[in-house]
Structures are given as C-alpha cells and as structure tokens.
C-alpha cells in the first residue's frame, strides 16, 4: 500500500468535525460481560452530563475483523475506549488452543489500538490479568514484574498476547503520543458473572453449587481444604475504579486494581460466607482429596493507594451477599 493510499484510509476514519469537543463518547468493548455490566450500572447511578456511554457486544461486530472494527469506530466515533473484549477460556481450552488464544487476542488488540490511534481517541484503557504474570515469581506481585519471566505454560498463548498490550501502550505513547494504559484486576465477582460450576471462577461457582445443595438438600461440597488465600474485588468497585482510571490516571504504565493485602481471605471463609448469604443450613464439606491449587497469589496495590488512599472497598461478606441475592433473583437467565 502506498503512503498516499494509507493516508487516505486513515483520514477517512478520523472523526468528522464533532459538534461538541467537550463531550466524551466512551465505548466499552466486551460490554455485556461481568465488568461491562458493572460499569454500565455504575455510570447509570453516577452520570456525568458530558459523557455518553456505548456498550458493545459480539452482536455489534467481530473485533477480529478489521473492516468490522473500522465500521464500529465509524458508527460510534468514540473519544474514549475501555477495552474488555478478549478470547477467553478455561484451563483445558487454553492448553489445547494456544495458537488461537494468541492470534485472536493479538488481532483484536491490534485492531482496537491502531484504530484508537487513527481516529485520535483521547484515552484507551485495556484490561490485563494477574494470570499473565511470570509463573516463577515472588509475592506480592506488582506492575513492574509483568515481564520478569515466562508465564505458566498452560496459558502462554493468552498471556503473551495480553502482555503485548503493555508493551504497545508504551510504544504508542513514545511514537505517537497516544494516551493508552492498562488495568490489572485481581479476582472479580458480582452480578452478571458466569456461574458455571465447572468453568466459572471461584465465588460464582461456589454460589451456584450452594444454591443447588440447598435446593436438593445435599451437602455443600467444596474442592480442596479451603486454605488457599485470594484477593477478591467486587465488580462495582472495579467499575468505579476503572472509570476513575479513564478520567484521571494518565500513564502508559499499568495499574493494579485490587483490595489491600490485608483483605486476603481463605477459600474456606469465602465458602462459609456464601453458605451464610444463601441461608444454607446443611452440611459444609471440604474435600481434601481434591487439589488446592496455588496457596497464595498476593498482588500489591501500593500504586493505587498512592492515588486513592481513602478508597473504601466493599467488604467480602457484603459483596457476596449482593452477588448471592442477584443470582437467586436472576437464576433462570444467569449465565451458568
């Protein structure tokens, strides 16, 4: 492609003389998932007059397709983008399809980042994950340790694709002066989660399992001893902090959004909190024959606390009660 043709293509995608430069049009990719729904709920209850929010789902177009992605940017003309969309899957899918997890995520991320550059988006916030950190590391982990060694071999396709976002955020800032950054959340839970017992995350899986145990009058059985420790962030808290990052955190370096290290809880305490919230009065069993997994994956939130020293996170018992209430009220339509 000649430089003239490329310039024409780029110009055709730029926003056409917006009526109101002060107005922000915030486009959220992957807007129908756990975090997208939480952001929607947060901005609905905390609206700003000069912000319009657009939440994309797969129905709006395939982000792996460059033309489809161009059409989305041309249609909505975002000034800000929160990028949640990704190809994700459980352990076995990641192990069996490393090429697809790498290629599809790289293509999605490249389309979003390059179109944000071409259309002069003012801010791009992308989501990373703690599972992309080095497999062999020291704890607590922080943002500076992301590239200090290879990720776990089981998800290396996904992990390297996600790590490249951080690399490119800095490269786009240096070469094109783009305001791109990324967020590293810890374990997220809340309404609109995937409550699948086999493939869901810890808290939604336990909520569904406890619901069925109560309904069927059977013991609430938890795999493992319950001793591993984890940090859990309620989805609405993460949504509020993500919106803060979009508005007020301006550095290409990633920021970890997590509860404090002191708020780490054991899986046993989480399970007992779920049972209490579900008003489950049967037997709670921990199956010590099943593997516990890694004992601790502590993340450091000192960078966040430097900016938001007084932020109050939702307590784990309060958050679990809200998640349980939502699941019970929406059982028929919840993802499970």
- The label of the residue with tokens 């929406």 reads 330
- The H or E element that residue 102 is part of is helix 98-118
Check if 189 is active-site.
no
Residue 237 burial (CB count, 10 A): 22
CA gap 187, 323 in Å, rounded: 14
Do residues 80 and 122 make contact, with C-beta atoms less than 8 angstroms apart? yes
Dihedral over alpha carbons 104, 194, 81, 103 (to 10 degrees): -10
Q: What phi, psi does 101 have (nearest 5°)? A: -65, -35
How, if at all, do strands 265-266 and 229-230 pair? Answer: antiparallel
Q: Which of 102, 139, 158, 211 is catalytic?
A: 158
Dist. CA 282–CA 270, nearest whole Å: 16
The DSSP string of 184-214 is EE-EEE-TT-B--TTTS-HHHHHHHHHHHHH
Q: Enumerate the active-site residues.
A: 158
């Amino acid at each position: 492609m000649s430089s003239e043709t490329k310039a024409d293509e780029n110009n055709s995608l730029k926003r056409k003389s917006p009526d109101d430069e002060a107005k922000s049009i915030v486009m959220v990719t992957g807007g129908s998932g756990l975090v997208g729904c939480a952001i929607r709920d947060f901005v609905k209850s905390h609206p700003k007059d000069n912000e319009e929010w657009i939440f994309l789902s797969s129905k709006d177009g395939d982000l792996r397709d460059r033309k489809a992605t161009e059409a989305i940017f041309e249609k909505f003309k975002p000034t800000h983008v929160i990028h949640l969309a990704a190809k994700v899957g459980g352990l076995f899918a990641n192990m069996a399809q490393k090429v697809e997890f790498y290629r599809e995520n790289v293509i999605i991320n490249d389309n979003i980042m390059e179109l944000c550059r071409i259309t002069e988006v003012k801010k791009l916030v992308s989501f990373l994950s703690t599972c992309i950190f080095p497999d062999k590391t020291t704890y607590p982990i922080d943002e500076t340790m992301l590239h200090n060694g290879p990720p776990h071999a089981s998800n290396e396709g996904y992990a390297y694709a996600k790590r490249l976002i951080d690399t490119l955020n800095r490269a786009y800032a240096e070469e094109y002066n783009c305001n791109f950054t990324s967020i590293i959340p810890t374990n997220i839970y809340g309404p609109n989660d995937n409550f699948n017992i086999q493939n869901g995350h810890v808290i939604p899986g336990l909520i569904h399992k406890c619901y069925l145990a109560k309904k069927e009058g059977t013991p609430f059985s938890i795999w493992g001893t319950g001793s591993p420790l984890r940090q859990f962030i309620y989805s609405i808290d993460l949504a509020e902090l993500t919106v803060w990052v979009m508005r007020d955190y301006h550095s290409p370096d990633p920021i970890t959004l997590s509860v404090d290290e002191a708020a780490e809880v054991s899986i046993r305490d989480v399970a007992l909190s779920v049972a209490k919230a579900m008003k489950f009065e049967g037997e709670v069993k921990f199956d010590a024959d099943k593997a516990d997994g890694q004992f601790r994956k502590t993340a450091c939130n000192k960078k966040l606390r430097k900016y938001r020293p007084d932020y109050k996170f939702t307590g784990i018992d309060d958050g679990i009660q809200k998640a349980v209430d939502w699941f019970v009220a929406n059982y028929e339509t919840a993802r499970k």
